[in-house]
Amino acid sequence: MKSCDKIVDGKVTPEIENLFDQCVKVFLLKGYETSTLEEIAEAGGCTPECIKEHFSTKEELTAAAMRWYYIKYSRQMRAEMAMHQDIYSAMEAVLFAFIEISCDQVHANKGLFVRTFIDIAYVDDVVKKSFEDLQDDWEVQVLDKFNQCKDELKDPSEVEALAHYFLTVIEGLYELIKYGTPCELMYKVAIMSLDTLEVRMKHGQPKKKKGSKKKAK
């Protein structure tokens, strides 16, 4: 990204994605609070002036990078959830998609990228606001799915609690990534969490899911 012309406002070009990747690496190496736009620019192969044409501050760049990663990696999870009409299959698909994405990121040496943004959100108000907006959006998506499927539950009043339970499970999987937990163990954790849902369903999990290949991991 030698020229500012290669940064297209409002679009994520390969150059911008590389800049986002490099900013996370700089944060991991030097710490978020002490990192500068100049250091990020150097790592990304561009000039500070180039970055400032599109991101006036480090906080703005970080928030944009976090939104990009969220959109990029949540798209598959949302699609998987939408494909399934019953709540068990939907939550199974979401958890397995998350693990698959996470394992792919680990293999690409990006396993801590999402976790890094979450950690930054706790110390930076600008990034925190963006993170909370994204988190609220995802929470609404999951809660809506549970409400759509509430008749499958023995007690429909547990919809909100179960939705937040699975949001917490995903947070827990973030932590497992952080500590280098093998993907096979992450699948086992996901399956155990699905057992909590199954016992609260009128008819348990759909029979078609028995013996799932992913469960054998």
Chain segment 135-156, per-residue pLDDT in tens = 888 899 999 999 999 999 999 9
Helices of type H across the chain:
14-30, 37-44, 48-52, 58-83, 87-107, 113-121, 125-148, 159-178, 183-198
Q: Is residue 137 part of a domain?
A: yes
- Give the count of domains, the chain: 2
If you average pLDDT over every residue of the chain, what do you get? 83
Q: Is residue 120 part of a domain?
A: yes
Same-domain check for residues 183 and 151: yes
Residue identified by tokens 């390969």 is 14
Q: Is residue 217 part of a domain?
A: no
- Mean of pLDDT values over 88-95: 95
Same-domain check for residues 205 and 110: yes
Quick one: pLDDT band at residue 4, thresholds 50, 70, 90? very low
Same-domain check for residues 11 and 89: no
Q: Is residue 206 part of a domain?
A: yes
What angle (nearest 5°) sits at the alpha carbon of residue 48, between those of residues 44 and 51? 70
Same-domain check for residues 107 and 178: yes
Same-domain check for residues 41 and 142: no
Task: Tell me which of 191 and 74 has the higher pLDDT.
Answer: 191
Would you put residue 86 in left (φ > 0), alpha (ψ -120 to 50) or beta?
Answer: beta
Taking the C-alpha atoms of residue 110 and residue 104, their distance in angstroms, rounded to an integer, is: 8
Q: Is residue 22 part of a domain?
A: yes
| pLDDT for residue 27 is more than 60 | yes
The pLDDT score that the predictor gives to residue 108 is 64
Same-domain check for residues 48 and 154: no
Angle between helices 113-121 and 125-148 (to 10 degrees): 110
Task: Tell me which of 108 and 5 has the higher pLDDT.
Answer: 108
Q: Is residue 170 part of a domain?
A: yes
| pLDDT for residue 63 is more than 90 | no
Does this model's pTM top 0.85? My answer is no
Q: Is residue 69 part of a domain?
A: no
Same-domain check for residues 51 and 150: no
Which domain range does residue 121 map to? 75-211
The pLDDT score that the predictor gives to residue 125 is 83
Same-domain check for residues 47 and 81: no
Take residue 71 and report the two structure tokens written for it: 């959109």
Phi and psi angles of residue 153, each rounded to the nearest 5 degrees, phi first: -90, 150
- Over residues 102-119, the pLDDT tens digits come to 787 766 666 566 667 777
Taking the C-alpha atoms of residue 22 and residue 26, their distance in angstroms, rounded to an integer, is: 6
Take residue 104 and report the two structure tokens written for it: 């792919």
Type of residue found at 108? A
Same-domain check for residues 10 and 94: no
Q: Are 178 and 107 a contacting pair, CB within 8 Å?
A: no
Measured between its terminal Cα atoms, the distance across the chain in Å is 40
Take residue 149 and report the two structure tokens written for it: 């499927």
Which range in 70-79, 164-173, 199-208 is most confidently predicted, on average pLDDT? 164-173
Q: From the CA atom positions of the chain, what is the Rg in Å?
A: 19
Quick one: pLDDT band at residue 96, thresholds 50, 70, 90? very high
Nearest to 97 by CA among 21, 166, 160: 166
Same-domain check for residues 87 and 178: yes
Take residue 10 and report the two structure tokens written for it: 């409002």
Q: Is residue 153 classed as helix, strand or coil in its secondary structure?
A: strand
CATH number of the domain encompassing residue 23: 1.10.10.60
Same-domain check for residues 7 and 103: no
The pLDDT score that the predictor gives to residue 38 is 92
Take residue 114 and report the two structure tokens written for it: 């999402």
Any idea which of 35-39, 68-72, 181-185 has the lowest mean pLDDT? 68-72
